[in-house]
Amino acid sequence: MTPQEMRARVVRYGELVPCKTAFIDAHTPGSNQKENFTIIGGGVSESPDQHVHIRDTPGFNIGAAGQPPKCRNSLHSHRTAEVFFVLKGRWRFFWGRWGTAGEVVLEEGDIFNIPTGIFRGFENIGTDYGMIMAILGGDDAGGGVIWAPQVIEDAREHGLILGENGKLYDSKKGQTLPEGLSPMPLLTEDELKTFPEPGIAEVIPGYVARYWDLMALADKHPAKVIGEHGMLRDRPGFEVELINHRSATTDQIMSAKNDVLMVMRGHWRLTWDGGSLVLAPGDTCAVPPNLGYTLVPSMTGEASLYRVRDTDDAAGPTWRS
């Protein structure tokens, strides 16, 4: 693979293209300053304005959300895995029909494998612009977003209508639903009863991993974060490991799977037969199958990254062992 071909598989943090109209709550006060980023795969954006950096998917999608302080993402659900880690800032994640069933605060580097089938939302509770990186299971990211009814109703009051085709129509721009297309129906009370309301004790121990715990685990070998034998035991169609400056090795890595490298801290030199390049915090790199590579920090000090690798497991509901 030539250096030019590999560079096309790298999305630099400083080159991320945001979309401010990605979802139905784009006009809703308190949520109207969100920026959505689609890095690998089509993602779940409901807007034609969404820029996609790398369209090919490795069995999962990579995205990101950037938000200023006090900005929140409204309650929604997914049919496949939604995994976040905090790149910058301090974030509160909350869940349940009204967002009151439980909550957890994540600091930089912490990771949350949110159980499928529950409503969830999140907000930046830090003092500066924050960024969270997301992994969505499945090539089609679970087929889209399922919104809590009140989110759709609030959006309608502020000019946005979601069609049953999953696309947004903005009355502030003079847009209306095309003839023959109905609005996205609200979930019925019977349907809402199928969405569980787990408490904090049910969610945090098995679905949240703290960065410094993972850094300690990655003393000599990469820390297995998500997987059948990971700290967070799940089989969502991919596995996640944390590699740091102590577990990095100059030995060549060769995988028949897709490796997506997501840098958390430090600078990393990626070398393959054909070239090398340096990855910085917030950068994402899609390494193709069967390409041998080495990955080491390019300078001394703290360095860490999450490596996501596709598996043969089907994307779907959270796995129960």
| CATH code of the domain covering residue 260 | 2.60.120.10
Write down the pLDDT at residue 221. Answer: 96
Same domain, yes or no, for 186 and 256?
no
- Answer for the pair 304, 222: CB distance below 8 angstroms, yes or no: no
Residue 136 has pLDDT above 60, yes or no: yes
Which of 208, 234, 267 is where one domain is finished?
Answer: 208
Give the pLDDT score at 141: 83
Cα atoms in the Cβ-side hemisphere of radius 13 Å centred on 156: 13
Residue 308, pLDDT above cutoff 90: yes
Residue 317 inside a domain? The answer is no
CA dist 175 and 173 (Å) reads 6
Q: Residue 153's pLDDT is what?
A: 96
Report percent pLDDT > 90 for the chain: 95
Q: Are residues 181 and 229 in the same domain?
A: no
Q: Are residues 174 and 275 in the same domain?
A: no
143 has pLDDT over 90: no
Same domain? For 158 and 25 the reply is yes
Residues 286, 142 within the same domain: no
The residue segments making up the domain with residue 156 are 3-208
Any domain includes 133: yes
Rounded CA Rg of the chain: 19
Check whether 111 has a pLDDT greater than 80: yes
Q: What's the whole-number average pLDDT of the chain?
A: 96
Q: CB atoms < 10 A from the CB of 8, how many?
A: 13
Rounded Cα gap, residues 105 and 145, in angstroms: 23
Q: What is the mean pLDDT of residues 191-215?
A: 96
- Taking residues 177-192, report their average pLDDT: 95
| DSSP bridge partners of 67 | 130
pTM: 0.95
Residue type present at position 59: G
What tokens does 207 get? 């679905």
103 and 252 together in one domain: no
Q: What's the DSSP call for residue 10?
A: E
For the chain, what's the residue count?
321
How many separate helices (H) and strands (E) can be counted in the chain?
5, 25
Among 208, 225, 256, give the residue marking a domain's end. 208
pLDDT in tens, 236-291: 999 999 999 999 999 999 999 999 999 999 999 999 999 999 999 999 999 999 99
Helix (H, G, I), strand (E, B) or coil at 253: strand
Same domain, yes or no: 16 and 89: yes
The domain total for the chain is 2
State the pLDDT at residue 321: 57
Residue 189 sits in the same domain as residue 219: no
Question: Is the same domain home to 193 and 227?
Answer: no
pLDDT tens-digit readout, 83-103: 999 999 999 999 999 999 999
Statement to judge: residues 234 and 268 lie in one domain: yes
Q: What average pLDDT score do residues 49-55 get? A: 95
> By the 8 A CB rule, do 65 and 23 touch?
no
Please indicate, yes or no, if residue 25 is contained in any of the structural domains.
yes
DSSP characters over 267-302: -EEEEETTEEEEE-TT-EEEEPTT--EEEEESSSS-
Residue 81: which of 236, 198, 227 has the closest Cα?
A: 236
